[in-house]
Amino acid sequence: MSRTTPPRPLDVEALFPGPAAYRGTTTRLHPRPGHPDMEDSSVGGPLLWPADEPWPVCTEPHRHARGRRPADIHRQRQILASAWLREPNPGPTNEERQLLKELGQEHRVEEAAATDPLPLIGLAQLYRRDIPDLPAGPDDCDLLQVFWCPFDAHGPSGYGMLLDLRWRRSWEVTEVQISPPQPRVVGFEGYVPEPCVLHPEQVATYPFAGLLPEDLCARIDAWEEALEEEAEQSTDDDAEAPVGYQCDLSIPPGWRVGGFASWHATDPSPMNCRTCATPMHLLLTVDSSEWDGGSSWKPLKEQDLPTHRYASPTEVTVGRWGELNIFSCPEEPGHPHRWSIQ
Ligand SMILES: [Zn+2]
Ligand SMILES: [Zn+2]
C-alpha cells in the first residue's frame, strides 16, 4: 500500500518570490512494520551480505559486556503493542507488567571482553532502483547498507555514535550470509530496529530557513511572526496551530533520502567533505518519529491513526527523540560520510 503526503497547506512559491530557485526533492521512505527480505529495501530487515565477506564490527575499545538482549527488546515491544490495542481494557495486565519488567533487565555477557570486536547492527538497506533520490554509489554501486554500533561510546566525547555505511553492487552477490552475527546485548534499545518495509514517495522540499539568503529568510520570519500574532489574538480555542515554514512547508519529518537537513536543534554548521572539502549533500535521515501530533505531513491513508501508537514504526530513536542526518560527498561518494544529530 503506497503512502501519499497530503498537499501542503500553503504553496510556499506563491507566498514569496524566491523559494522556487531552491526547490529540491526528497524521498520519504515511509517505513512500516512488515516482512522484508534481502532483495527488498528495508529498515531492520535482512541484508544482502556476501557469505564470504566479514560482517562489519566495532573495534573501538569500549565496554559492551552489559546491556539488554535484542530479543527481549522485540518481545517487550510486541507485548506493549498488543496490550494497548486490547479492548475493552487497554494497557498491560499485571502478569504482562511482571514480564515486561523481566524483559527490561540488563544482562552481562561474561565472555565479551571489552576489546572483542562487536558485530554491528544492520540498520537499513536501500536499493537505488526503489529510491529516486538515492545518488549513485561509487563504481556503479546500487545498494547502500547502513550499520551502527548499539552503544553510545565513541569519538572524542566517549559518548558518540558509530556508523558504518557500505555501498555494493547487488548483482555481484551470489552466496548470501544467512545468519549474520548479532550483538548479544545492546547499550540502548533505540538502536534496535523493528523490521519494516518501505513505501518510498518523492516530494518537493526547500532548504532550512537559516540557510536561505538573508532577505528571503527575513521575509519568512516576518510572515511567521504575523501569523503567530494573529493566532494569539484569536479567541477561537479550537483554532489550529498556524502554518509554519519549518514545520509544514520545507522539510518533511520521518526517514528520508536526499533533500535538505534541518538544523532546528543546533545552528547550521558547514558540512564539507574532510577529504576534498566539497560541500556535502544530505544522503539519509534517520528519524525517531514519522510525524508529530497534528502534523500536516501525516500520510492521507493514516489520518485516523493515533500518533502515539503509529508514528514510530521502526522503534529507532536517535538523540533526544531527534533525527540523524548522514551526509555524503557529491564529488566522490566513496569519501567518508559525516553526520549530525538534531
Ligand atoms: Zn562501538
Ligand atoms: Zn569528497
166 occurs within a structural domain: yes
- How confident is the model at residue 293, as a pLDDT? 79
Domain's final residue, options 196, 211, 229: 196
Average pLDDT over residues 5-21: 92
Expressed in angstroms and rounded, the spacing between residue 202 Cα and the centre of ligand 2 is: 26
For residue 276, the Cα-to-chain-centroid distance in whole angstroms is: 27
329 occurs within a structural domain: yes
Expressed in angstroms and rounded, the spacing between residue 291 Cα and the centre of ligand 2 is: 33
Mean pLDDT score across all residues of the chain = 94
Q: Say yes or no: 242 and 335 in one domain.
A: yes
Expressed in angstroms and rounded, the spacing between residue 338 Cα and the centre of ligand 2 is: 11
Q: Say yes or no: 207 and 125 in one domain.
A: no
pLDDT in tens, 131-172: 999 999 999 999 999 999 999 999 999 999 999 999 999 999
Expressed in angstroms and rounded, the spacing between residue 341 Cα and the centre of ligand 2 is: 21
Q: How far apart are CA 237 and CA 104, in angstroms?
A: 41
Average pLDDT over residues 16-33: 95
pLDDT classification of 308: cutoffs 50, 70, 90 = confident
- How confident is the model at residue 267, as a pLDDT? 87
Q: Which of 274, 292, 289 is nearest to 338 (CA)?
A: 274
- How confident is the model at residue 26, as a pLDDT? 98
The domain containing residue 225 runs over which residues? 1-31+199-342
- How confident is the model at residue 113, as a pLDDT? 62
Look at residue 4 and tell me whether its pLDDT is greater than 70.
yes
Q: Say yes or no: 313 and 208 in one domain.
A: yes
Domain's final residue, options 168, 196, 224: 196
- How confident is the model at residue 226, as a pLDDT? 92
Average pLDDT over residues 200-213: 96
pLDDT in tens, 224-263: 999 888 888 877 666 677 899 999 999 999 999 999 999 9
Expressed in angstroms and rounded, the spacing between residue 80 Cα and the centre of ligand 1 is: 29
Look at residue 322 and tell me whether its pLDDT is greater than 70.
yes
Average pLDDT over residues 85-91: 88
Expressed in angstroms and rounded, the spacing between residue 139 Cα and the centre of ligand 2 is: 15
Nearest ligand to the CA of 61 is 1
- The model carries a pTM of 0.95
pLDDT in tens, 34-82: 999 999 999 999 999 999 999 999 999 898 999 999 999 999 999 999 9
322 occurs within a structural domain: yes
pLDDT classification of 307: cutoffs 50, 70, 90 = confident
115 occurs within a structural domain: yes
Per-residue H/E/C for the chain? CCCCCCCCCCCHHHHCCCHHHHCEEEEECCCEECCCCCCCCEECCCCCCECCCCCCEECCCCCCCEEECHHHHHHHHHHHHHHHHCCCCCCCCHHHHHHHHHHCCCEECCCCCCCCCEECEEEEEEEHHHCCCCCCCHHHCCEEEEEECCCCCECCCCCECCEEEEEECHHHCCCECCCCCCCCCECCHHHCCCCEECCCEEEEECCCHHHCCHHHHHHHHHHHHHHHHHHHHCCCCCCCCCCCHHHHHHCCCCCEECCCCCCCCCCCCCCECCCCCCECEEEEEEECCCCCCCCCCCCHHHCCCCHHHHCCCCCCCECCCEEEEEEECCCCCCCCCEEEEC
Q: Say yes or no: 174 and 304 in one domain.
A: no
Expressed in angstroms and rounded, the spacing between residue 275 Cα and the centre of ligand 2 is: 5
Residue at grid coordinates 533520502: 257
Q: Say yes or no: 268 and 329 in one domain.
A: yes
Q: Say yes or no: 211 and 277 in one domain.
A: yes
Residue 150: how many other CB atoms lie within 10 Å: 27
Percentage of residues of the chain with pLDDT beyond 90: 83
Q: Say yes or no: 210 and 111 in one domain.
A: no
Q: How far apart are CA 180 and CA 149, in angstroms?
A: 15
Domain's final residue, options 196, 228, 258: 196
36 occurs within a structural domain: no
Q: How far apart are CA 185 and CA 195, in angstroms?
A: 18
Q: Say yes or no: 174 and 251 in one domain.
A: no
235 occurs within a structural domain: yes
Q: Say yes or no: 171 and 238 in one domain.
A: no
Q: Say yes or no: 214 and 177 in one domain.
A: no
Q: Say yes or no: 214 and 288 in one domain.
A: yes
37 occurs within a structural domain: no
Q: Say yes or no: 333 and 314 in one domain.
A: yes
- How confident is the model at residue 255, as a pLDDT? 98
- How confident is the model at residue 70, as a pLDDT? 98
pLDDT classification of 112: cutoffs 50, 70, 90 = low
Q: How many domains does the chain have?
A: 2
